[in-house]
Amino acid sequence: MSKIDVNDAMLAYDEAGSGSPVVLIHAGIADRRMWRGQLPALATRHRVIVPDLRGYGESELPPSPFAHHDDVIGLLDALGVARAALVGCSFGGKVAMDTALAYPDRVSALALFGAPVSGTEWSEETEQLWDELVGEADPEDFAATAAGEVRFWVVGPTRRPEDVDPELIRFADEMDRRALAAELALSAVEVSELDPPAIDRLGELAMPVLVGTGADDLADLRRLADRIAAEAPQGVRLPDVPDAAHLLPLERPEPVNAALLDFLP
């Protein structure tokens, strides 16, 4: 692990390999450790950079206003990278997409797994499912909230907990507890969003775009993946990966790695 000053915040990151640069951006319920299955595989061909977003994992959270997509470019600047492919899962996919729209000349390709899109809202179906599985947990009760969020995201709406690798559930729960503490701290800081948001700008994604989801992820996200791939001029939709939910790269690294090695420039 290394740390580097990015826009007046010390961001933690891992780095391995050489070749064309690739940045892996973690989910909002996780940290950079979720890419443990991708880092060694991609490093055989690429310079792979895996940061903790500001406030998450081992990265700092100064009180000054910021935008996650500005931090991604700040990280590239600090590491002397002119252009990179961005790979994002979940919230990390949203950050990656926003970065590609805000700084199109800096992004060579975009790969998105289970990615929401800025400017969209969840369906009533998803809201009801959230109420059933997570409910109104005390935001400072990280254990109870993490248990509900792991049930919602990592197990997914179409599986039972006993259908899922218990080590995956344990690791996801550990990461999510840390992420919940990060989100609580982030709520006290001004975080800028992309303006205008991405949902009506998908046609501006001129770079190659790869989009994938787990077959057991939320229907909202599978529909969004269809839309991104259809509207991005060079969009490619991967078939849904069976027996996988929201943290697809962590749960099923082999098909994700194969797709990425085939796709990345």
Q: Are residues 103 and 7 in the same domain?
A: yes
Alpha carbons 194 and 101: distance in angstroms, whole number: 9
Q: Are residues 173 and 58 in the same domain?
A: no
Q: Are residues 80 and 20 in the same domain?
A: yes
Q: Are residues 87 and 143 in the same domain?
A: no
- Tens-place pLDDT, residues 16-34: 999 999 999 999 999 999 9
What pLDDT is attached to residue 143? 86
Tokens of 22: 């690739």
Q: Are residues 173 and 108 in the same domain?
A: no
Alpha carbons 149 and 157: distance in angstroms, whole number: 11
Tally of domains within the chain: 2
What pLDDT is attached to residue 141? 82
Q: Are residues 179 and 194 in the same domain?
A: no
Could you tell me the CATH number of the domain that includes residue 236? 3.40.50.1820
Q: Are residues 150 and 102 in the same domain?
A: no
Over residues 227-248, the mean pLDDT reads 97
What pLDDT is attached to residue 131? 86
Tokens of 175: 């990461």
Over residues 227-252, the mean pLDDT reads 97
- In contact, 84 and 92? CB cutoff 8 Å: no
What pLDDT is attached to residue 142? 87
Q: Are residues 160 and 94 in the same domain?
A: no
CA-nearest of 179, 127, 124, 125 to 150 is: 179
Q: Mark which of 138, 156, 185 sits at the end of a domain.
A: 185
Cα 49 off chain centre by = 14
Measured over the CA atoms of residue 36, residue 41, residue 42 and residue 44, the dihedral's sign is positive
Q: Which domain holds residue 143?
A: 128-185
Tokens of 162: 């006993």
- Tens-place pLDDT, residues 195-219: 999 999 999 999 999 999 999 999 9
Q: Are residues 45 and 8 in the same domain?
A: yes
- Tens-place pLDDT, residues 67-113: 999 999 999 999 999 999 999 999 999 999 999 999 999 999 999 99
- Residue 140 pLDDT > 80: no
State the pairing for strand pair 9-16/2-6. antiparallel
